[in-house]
């Protein structure tokens, strides 16, 4: 890394199609003045000239009854500069140094094959605080990563209350904020709000990413959407997501001085971060994308996750899962399990996962968590007979854990009640009859590592389904708050296991999608998106997650005819069509399938296996439809030779016909063979006199026609689906 002269006050980071420009005036904290499509400037113009031009263009008039010099919105707003924005740093040293004032001391710029980086070193000599602002632009995806490190350069303890990961200015037309919210079983539901003087401030206090508030936001013009597939270069949207699996805050507001902005960071509990002399704390990274529409924004985030975040093993072909939970729940029986394995292998499963109930005292969800020893009363010979049976079918073996939790009714808790998160003098309320272990405590970390490593080694476990089924309440070590330590302690435990067992794969499950973010995904290559596998609900949940996370890492399973969570009955075609929207698998009792259903599942399973390699690098497209009861999306291979499209009709619509489905992302000038892939044409034929010709006859159609005129949809009853492929004809 090479130091550069601080007299240059403009810095550019260049991606393949994106530019980020930072500007500092008079050695003040830099501001992000442009993030968007790549800018072209005359080759003859040097950096100083460009700095002066941008300085002139962004210079704001001073206002009456305001500071003499109107403050520019910086990467770290400071109350000492009289900014009206939420300060990027809040804290104090015994009530003093509550309002820091930083100046730019040095800048370091570097580059790698994949990214260009900047480090801005800031100092407040009075408060004796140092901040390093890091900015990195990923060349391929155009994703800008921002992070902030605070160091106490003095001798007094500094109590940190808030350190923003990113503060991003918005332009005048980016006045609508899209965020995602939900609950258990109904995650990632979109919500839009106008950015106004009434600050939008979303806070998550659950101690995990949460079902309620996804740590991300997207700002754009009112009514912005997925887009029509045009290739305009304008950057209408700004989206950011926080790589953090704990408490967080997202805020956006319109200031009276004309600035619109949004800010994101980890939300700290009182007294949680106390920095002694020389100590530092780094805020979680925020990842920011500028895009013309939501489809392009998603594709940028997906590319970044694939290249920079996800473990390498997530890039290999993803196996078909069969999970034992909804088939047997806690009713573990070795003979029934072997029969379940046989039936799952018959319909194409490649990995069998033994879910909750295999360890000591675990006959229901009220006892046993923490006692990570195989229950000898159920498995007198350990798991070896079952594992050997699984391996005999050529399947991988996976095992469920909930390492961070403990039941009061467990040997572990009876021996070590002080290992649970707690606050002296208060009784911690139970959730699912369990408490949370203090993972930052070395004895806890060592116990969990030793027990999990011993089981992975003994049974050659390929895969861990890592669950977390409750929020953090009274998350302390007896005296001090510890919520911010939990996510990083969890990351460390996962990292240590994967260093010991490099082939081990881990899924993040947290009552479904309550821990799904780019922080946990550095260690987990699969997300269990929701405990709700009702395909009607799951289609919308998957759509929400697809905004930020690539489809191939989102676990989606074919469930039972009657959904266990909602009680809704759906046909096997719809369940399989929705399961093909992500990493395909089974969450049903395959022993009870009819011969016809087995044949049907063979078809859809084979389709997944034949497509999964190109799906792992595909661009995802959400398609516009006539109303929100009709969801349509597809994936197009990186070479644009293959694509797979699905349509889900959630509920009855007042119109009989749903119009045409206009595709996106195909190669212009090419032609594509259309093939209807679902086996439900006979079922759909009963709802109209005829079906559209493309559903019953393979047609070869120019891409231009598919992306302009589209395909006329059939009459679709409520809770039905379509599935078709487009293969380029060379």
Q: Count the neighbouring beta carbons within 10 Å of the beta carbon of residue 631.
A: 21
Establish whether 571 is a catalytic residue.
Answer: no
What ranges in 121-256 are assigned the alpha helix state H? none
Cα-based distances in Å from 34 to 62, 224, 281, 289? 22, 20, 28, 12
Q: Which of 555, 565, 534, 386 is nearest to 467 (CA)?
A: 555
3-state secondary structure of 272: coil
Cα-based distances in Å from 66 to 71, 72, 84? 10, 13, 11
Q: Distance between the two ends of the chain, CA-based, in angstroms?
A: 47
DSSP labels for 289-301?
EEESSHHHHHHHH
| Residue among 355, 375, 462, 531 flagged as catalytic | 531
3-state secondary structure of 117: strand
d(CA 260, CA 252): 7
Q: Which two tokens stand for residue 647?
A: 């349509």
3-state secondary structure of 447: helix
Handedness of CA 453, 332, 319, 543 (dihedral sign): negative
Q: Give the distance from CA 133 to its chain's centroid.
A: 24
Task: Report the interhelical angle of 535-546 vs 572-579 (nearest 10°).
Answer: 10
Establish whether 257 is a catalytic residue.
Answer: no
Cβ-count burial of 111 within 10 angstroms (0-12 exposed, 13-18 middle, 19+ buried)?
A: middle
| Residue among 467, 517, 534, 597 flagged as catalytic | 467
d(CA 636, CA 620): 7
Enumerate the active-site residues.
467, 531
């Amino acid at each position: 890394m090479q130091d550069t002269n601080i007299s240059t006050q403009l810095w550019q980071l260049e991606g393949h199609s994106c530019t980020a420009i930072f500007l500092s005036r008079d050695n003040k904290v830099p501001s992000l003045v442009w993030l968007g499509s790549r800018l072209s400037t005359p080759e003859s113009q040097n950096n100083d000239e460009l700095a002066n031009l941008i300085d002139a263009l962004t210079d704001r008039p001073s206002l009456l009854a305001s500071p003499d010099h109107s403050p520019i919105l910086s990467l770290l707003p400071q109350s000492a500069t009289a900014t009206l924005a939420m300060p990027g740093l809040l804290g104090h040293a015994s009530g003093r140094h509550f309002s820091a004032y930083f100046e730019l001391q040095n800048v370091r710029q570097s580059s790698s094959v994949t990214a260009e980086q900047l480090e801005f070193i800031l100092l407040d000599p009075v408060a004796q605080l140092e901040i390093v602002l890091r900015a990195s632009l990923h060349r391929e995806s155009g994703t800008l990563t921002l992070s902030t490190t605070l160091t106490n350069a003095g001798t007094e303890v500094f109590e940190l209350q808030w350190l923003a990961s990113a503060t991003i200015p918005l332009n005048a037309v980016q006045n609508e904020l899209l965020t995602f919210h939900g609950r258990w079983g109904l995650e990632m539901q979109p919500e839009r709000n106008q950015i106004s003087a009434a600050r939008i401030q979303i806070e998550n206090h659950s101690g995990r990413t949460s079902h309620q508030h996804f740590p991300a936001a997207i700002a754009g013009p009112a009514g912005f959407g997925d887009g029509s597939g045009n290739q305009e270069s304008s950057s209408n949207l700004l989206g950011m997501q926080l790589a953090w699996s704990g408490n967080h805050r997202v805020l956006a507001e319109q200031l009276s001085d004309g600035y619109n902005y949004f800010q994101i960071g980890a939300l700290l509990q009182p007294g949680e971060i106390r920095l002694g002399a020389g100590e530092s704390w780094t805020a979680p990274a925020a990842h920011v994308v500028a895009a013309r529409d939501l489809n392009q924004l998603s594709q940028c985030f997906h590319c970044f996750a694939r290249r920079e975040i996800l473990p390498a093993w997530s890039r290999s072909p993803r196996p078909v899962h069969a999970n034992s939970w909804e088939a047997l729940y806690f009713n573990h029986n070795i003979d029934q399990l072997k029969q379940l394995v046989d039936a799952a292998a018959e319909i194409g499963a490649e990995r069998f996962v033994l879910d909750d109930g295999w360890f000591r005292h675990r006959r229901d969800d009220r006892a046993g968590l923490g006692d990570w020893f195989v229950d000898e009363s159920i498995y007198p010979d350990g798991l070896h007979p079952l594992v050997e049976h699984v391996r005999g079918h050529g399947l991988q073996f996976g095992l469920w854990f909930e390492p961070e939790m403990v039941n009061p009714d467990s040997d572990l808790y009876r021996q070590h009640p002080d290992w649970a998160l707690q606050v002296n003098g208060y009784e911690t309320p139970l959730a699912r009859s369990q408490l949370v272990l203090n993972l930052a405590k070395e004895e806890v970390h060592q116990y969990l590592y030793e027990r999990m490593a011993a089981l992975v080694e003994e049974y050659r476990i390929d895969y861990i389904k890592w669950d977390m089924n409750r929020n953090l309440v009274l998350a302390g070590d007896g005296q001090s708050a510890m919520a911010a330590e939990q996510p990083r302690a969890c990351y460390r435990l996962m990292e240590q296991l994967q260093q010991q067992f490099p082939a081990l794969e881990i899924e993040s499950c947290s009552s479904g999608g309550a821990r799904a973010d780019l922080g946990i995904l550095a260690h987990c290559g699969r997300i269990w998106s929701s405990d709700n596998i009702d395909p009607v609900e799951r289609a919308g949940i998957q759509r929400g997650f697809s905004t930020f996370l690539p489809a191939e890492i989102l676990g989606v399973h074919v469930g039972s005819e009657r959904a266990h969570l909602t009680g809704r009955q759906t046909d096997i075609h719809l369940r399989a069509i929705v399961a093909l929207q992500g990493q395909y698998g089974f969450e049903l009792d395959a022993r009870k399938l009819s011969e016809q259903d087995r044949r049907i599942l063979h078809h859809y399973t084979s389709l997944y296996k034949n497509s999964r390699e190109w799906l792992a690098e595909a661009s995802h497209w959400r398609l516009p439809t006539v109303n929100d009861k009709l969801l349509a999306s597809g994936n197009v291979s990186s070479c644009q030779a293959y694509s797979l499209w699905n349509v889900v009709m959630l509920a009855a619509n007042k119109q009989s016909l749903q119009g045409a489905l206009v595709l996106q992302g195909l190669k212009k000038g090419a032609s594509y063979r259309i093939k209807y892939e679902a086996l439900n044409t006979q079922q759909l034929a009963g709802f109209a006199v005829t079906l559209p010709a493309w559903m019953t006859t393979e047609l070869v159609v120019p891409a231009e026609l598919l992306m302009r005129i589209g395909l006329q949809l059939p009459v679709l009853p409520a809770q039905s689906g379509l599935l078709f492929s487009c293969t380029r004809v060379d």
